[in-house]
């Protein structure tokens, strides 16, 4: 049986994570904690003797996360293919809002649906939105249509590399990784809404020839650290007590 390897990295904590904002497609920089998360994750990959063939990041935080990881595993020479298809779910009108304040206003259940659902769009981003020009006038997205500007995750760039037997390292964002996990494991929309993917923890998949997981995702890290990181993600969309 052919076995393929796919390692997913959720980018480390950024300035907007620290402030608990909906990031959407806004490019925020990693904070010190985020760099340390990426470094620890890289050390875990190095200790497990992982050697990769190609990498896929999406935007600023994932670029910074990826370079920190590659430095830790001494593989900065690897080819890097950037793709907007791995960018985070576009939060539209929620972009820049504080998640806890939004939960207090609209309810935690509604915020959870906006964060994890695949059939309930967030409120639209109007032209007068503070961050509207961040996407519409960004030269990096000049070739994209309006429909593409509101799209989220895609595996189409990664699959050919995996099927060639390459070890693929993917650095992306919470919602794009939720989409990949949902697809790989065949989870229902209700089930994926309960999955918390921690920052700074490497997610490892072993896949069979049809790219179905041989076993559920594995977290590369000690159990206590993984659990703590997952709790932190779950708390982001809750109203402050």
The response to whether 240 counts as a known ligand-binding position is no
Residue 15 is assigned to a ligand binding site:
yes
Residue 14 assigned to a binding site:
yes
Residue 116 counted as an annotated binding residue: yes
Q: Which residues pair with 223 in a beta bridge?
A: none
Q: Binding residue per annotation — 11?
A: yes
8 A C-beta contact, residue 12 and residue 229: no
91 is in an annotated binding site: yes
- Binding residue per annotation — 90? yes
Q: In what order do the strands lie in the sheet with 218-220?
A: 54-56, 168-172, 4-10, 202-207, 218-220
67 a known binding residue?
no
Does 88 carry a binding-site annotation?
yes
- CB within 8 Å of 86: residues ≥ 6 apart: 56, 57, 58, 62, 153, 154, 157, 170, 172, 173, 176
Known binder of ligand: residue 105? no
16: annotated binding-site residue?
A: yes
17 is in an annotated binding site: yes
Whether 26 has a binding-site annotation, put simply, is: no
Binding residues for substrate: 10-17, 88-91, 99, 115-116, 174-175
Binding residues: 10-17, 88-91, 99, 115-116, 174-175
């Amino acid at each position: 049986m052919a076995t393929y390897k796919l390692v997913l990295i959720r980018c480390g904590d950024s300035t907007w994570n620290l402030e608990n904002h909906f990031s959407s497609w806004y490019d925020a920089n990693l904070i010190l904690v985020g760099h340390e998360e990426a470094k620890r994750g890289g050390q875990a990959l190095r200790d497990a003797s992982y050697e990769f063939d190609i990498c896929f990041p999406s935007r600023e935080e994932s670029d910074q996360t990826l370079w920190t990881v590659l430095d830790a595993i001494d593989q900065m020479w690897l080819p890097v293919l950037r793709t907007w298809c791995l960018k985070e779910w576009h939060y539209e009108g929620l972009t820049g809002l504080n998640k806890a304040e939004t939960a207090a206003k609209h309810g935690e259940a509604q915020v959870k649906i906006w964060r994890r659902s695949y059939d309930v769009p967030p409120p639209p981003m109007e032209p007068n939105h503070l961050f509207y020009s961040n996407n519409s006038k960004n030269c990096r997205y000049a070739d994209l249509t309006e429909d593409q500007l509101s799209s989220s995750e895609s595996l189409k760039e990664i699959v050919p590399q995996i099927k060639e037997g390459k070890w693929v390292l993917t650095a992306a964002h919470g919602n794009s990784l939720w989409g990949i996990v949902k697809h790989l494991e065949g989870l229902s929309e209700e089930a994926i809404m309960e999955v918390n993917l921690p920052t700074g923890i490497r997610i490892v998949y072993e896949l069979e020839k049809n790219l179905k997981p041989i076993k559920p995702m594995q977290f590369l890290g000690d159990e206590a650290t993984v659990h703590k990181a997952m709790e932190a993600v779950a708390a982001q969309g809750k109203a402050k007590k």
